[in-house]
Structure 1
Amino acid sequence: NALIGLEHHKATTTEIFKWDGQKRLFPEWEKDMTLGDAMKASAIPVYQDLARRIGLELMSKEVKRVGYGNADIGTQVDNFWLVGPLKITPQQEAQFAYKLANKTLPFSQKVQDEVQS
């Protein structure tokens, strides 16, 4: 979500995602945070907000373009990686992480740098 959102200007690294005041699964999620903060905390509500901004059509296109797992996000843009049809093997996940670490994913170098920092 972060790579796609940053690449398509749906969020910035300095933007503050506002906590909506709802009780969350983890207390660490119950605060305003940047995308970087959300990545460190694995804050699903921020990722869901970003996914809704990206939209189903663009998200589906980008997941297919980068060849992420089986690339099937179904019809729910804000939870396909949690309960949806997206499947990825540990090997595929490791390959994706390796490409990100080496900045060889099909995203701009700037975006890959931002996600890594």
Structure 2
Amino acid sequence: MNKLIILMLAITTASAHAKTITTEEYSHQFKNYDGCFILYSVNKHKVVSEYNPNNRCNQRIAPDSTFKIVLSLMAFNEGIIDQDTIFKWNGEKGVLPTHDQDQTPQTWLKYSVVWVSQQITPQLGLSRIKKYLADFNYGNQDFSGDAGKNNGLQYAWLSSSLKISALEQLNLDMDLKN
């Protein structure tokens, strides 16, 4: 069985007649994956469909790319970036060609450019990040990074110390929407 974690949060404007689909009905589509799926109706203000074997949607995992949601809010709020900011690429080739160029806030978010996040976090600093994580009630709020490596500002959200569950992420997204 693949150990790939699928974390899909879908926000939809499902009709009032949408049928609730349960874990059993999704099991054939996700049988080779260790993950969960949540479909949330903004109109109904509730989960209308889910795949949640073994309560997987409550288990905390590293946020990886979804951390950019709160990181962008922190950076904009603190005036570290604005819509005209250009993040200068250092010329170091990466895995994805879309990352190997200067970035804007829009392309950073669109292409999930890790090196941009790693430029922003030191500018925010650990104390401000921790305050925002507490204010957002963000998962376990642990931004320490890998044990003994003092690398939280560079890697905490990337399969490291910071963890959040799919349901916590959904609740945060809904709080931000409101």
Q: d(CA) in 1 for partners of 2:104 and 2:175?
A: 24
Amino acid at match of 1:96: L
The one-character-per-residue Cα deviations of 1:16-75 (angstroms, maximum 9, x if unpaired) are 001110011211100111111100001111111011111111111111111111111115
Moved more, 2-11 or 79-88: 79-88
Q: C-alpha distance in 1, partners of 2:96/2:160?
A: 22
Match of 1:67 in 2: 137
Highest RCO, 1 vs 2 (Cα 8 Å, sep ≥ 6): 1
Q: Which residue of 2 aligns with 1:96?
A: 172
Going by fraction, where is strand more abundant, 1 or 2?
2
Contact 1:59 1:77 in 2 (8 A): no
Instruction: Confirm or deny: 8 A CA contact 1:19 1:31 kept in the other structure.
Output: yes
Runs of 4+ in 1 over 3 A off after TM superposition: none
Verify: 1:24 aligned to 2:94, yes or no: yes
Please give the residue correspondences for 1:1-117 in structure 2 after superposition, counting only pairs within 5 Å.
1-74=71-144, 75=150, 76-100=152-176, 102=177, 104=178
Q: Percent identity?
A: 26
Structure 1: unaligned runs, 5 residues or longer: 105-117
- 2:86 aligned partner, one-letter code: I
- Structure 2 unaligned residues grouped into runs of 5+: 1-70, 145-149
1:58 is paired with a residue whose SS is helix
Assess if the C-alpha contact under 8 Å between 2:86 and 2:102 holds in 1.
Answer: yes
Alpha-carbon offset, residue 3 of structure 1: 0.6
Whole-Å separation in 2 of the counterparts to 1:24 and 1:93: 28
Task: Give the letter for the 1:85 counterpart.
Answer: S
Q: Tell me, in whole angstroms, the C-alpha distance in 2 between the residues paired with 1:97 and 1:24.
A: 30
Structure number, greater radius of gyration: 2
For residue 98 of structure 1, report the CA deviation from its aligned partner: 2.3
Q: Greater helix percent: which structure?
A: 1
Q: CA-atom RMSD, angstroms?
A: 1.3
Report the 3-state secondary structure (helix = DSSP H, G, I; strand = E; otherwise coil) of the residue aligned with 1:86.
coil
